[in-house]
Structure 1
Amino acid sequence: MNRYWLYVMIGSLAEIAWVSGLKHSITLSDWILTILAISLSFWLILIASGKLPVGTVYIVFTGVGTAGTVAAEMILYGEPFQFVKVLLIAVLLTGVIGLKLITSQPQPEEQLTERSDA
């Protein structure tokens, strides 16, 4: 796996943490951890977006974050299980995986040409 895709996945996990943190933080330390998760999440996505297709990075980031947040709410916080919700999340993840699979990464020469043309 390309290390930049690893950054996207770690950033997505941090997104799950901070979204849940926004809803469930009570203490000052909870809020500090939430702010750190927000910072880590966006920092990793910015780094990954510099080397990978931005649209695909964004879709993977938000798709995994959304699916993970829904799952975390059900598993950790007692959100009721709804088959239709889980089915729709599965459809979302299928689309995210499909986009990642069909997105080609520019070769280093193409990246240099694109930047010098701008």
Structure 2
Amino acid sequence: MNRNWALVILAGLIEILWAIGLKHSSSWLSWMGTALLIYLSFALLVKATKTLPVATVYAIFTGIGTAGTVIVEMVVFGEAFSWTKVLFILLLLSGVLGLKLVTTDSGEKEGGV
């Protein structure tokens, strides 16, 4: 895995935090933190899409964010657990992993343009 894919994964992990911040922020300080996380995740995403295919990057970014947010809500915030949710999260993650596996280095844009 190269540096740009690491940026996509990091951006997706940060997306989990800001998505939870959208629901649970209650003070101006927590809203400012949420806004900062949104900026940071998209800055990393934009940097990664300079050399990686945008469609694949965005699908992976949102997949990580969606699955992670559902898992954190169930584990940390007491959202109702459902095996059906777990099944669909696994299905989503298998699609994300499949996209990553079929996106080869030859599909990457050349740097500088």
TM-score by length of 2: 0.93
* Corresponding residue number in structure 1 for 2:110: 111
* Corresponding residue number in structure 1 for 2:10: 10
Measure the CA separation in 2 of the matches of 1:72 and 1:53.
Answer: 28
Q: Which has the higher contact order (CA 8 A, sep 6+)?
A: 2
Partners of 1:53 and 1:105 within 8 A in 2: no
Q: Which runs of 4+ in 1 moved over 3 A?
A: none
* Corresponding residue number in structure 2 for 1:57: 57
* Partner-residue secondary structure (3-state), 2:110: helix
Query: Rg: which structure is higher?
Result: 1
1:107, distance to aligned residue in structure 2 (A): 7.3
* Residue identity in the other structure for 1:56: T
1:105, distance to aligned residue in structure 2 (A): 2.2
Measure the CA separation in 2 of the matches of 1:47 and 1:111.
Answer: 14
* Corresponding residue number in structure 1 for 2:41: 41
1:28, distance to aligned residue in structure 2 (A): 1.4
* Partner-residue secondary structure (3-state), 1:51: coil
TM-score by length of 1: 0.89
Partners of 1:8 and 1:48 within 8 A in 2: yes
* Corresponding residue number in structure 1 for 2:92: 92
* Corresponding residue number in structure 2 for 1:75: 75
In structure 1, runs of 5+ residues without a counterpart are: none
Partners of 1:73 and 1:79 within 8 A in 2: yes
**How many corresponding residue pairs?**
112
Partners of 2:52 and 2:107 within 8 A in 1: no
* Corresponding residue number in structure 2 for 1:32: 32
Measure the CA separation in 2 of the matches of 1:107 and 1:20.
Answer: 33
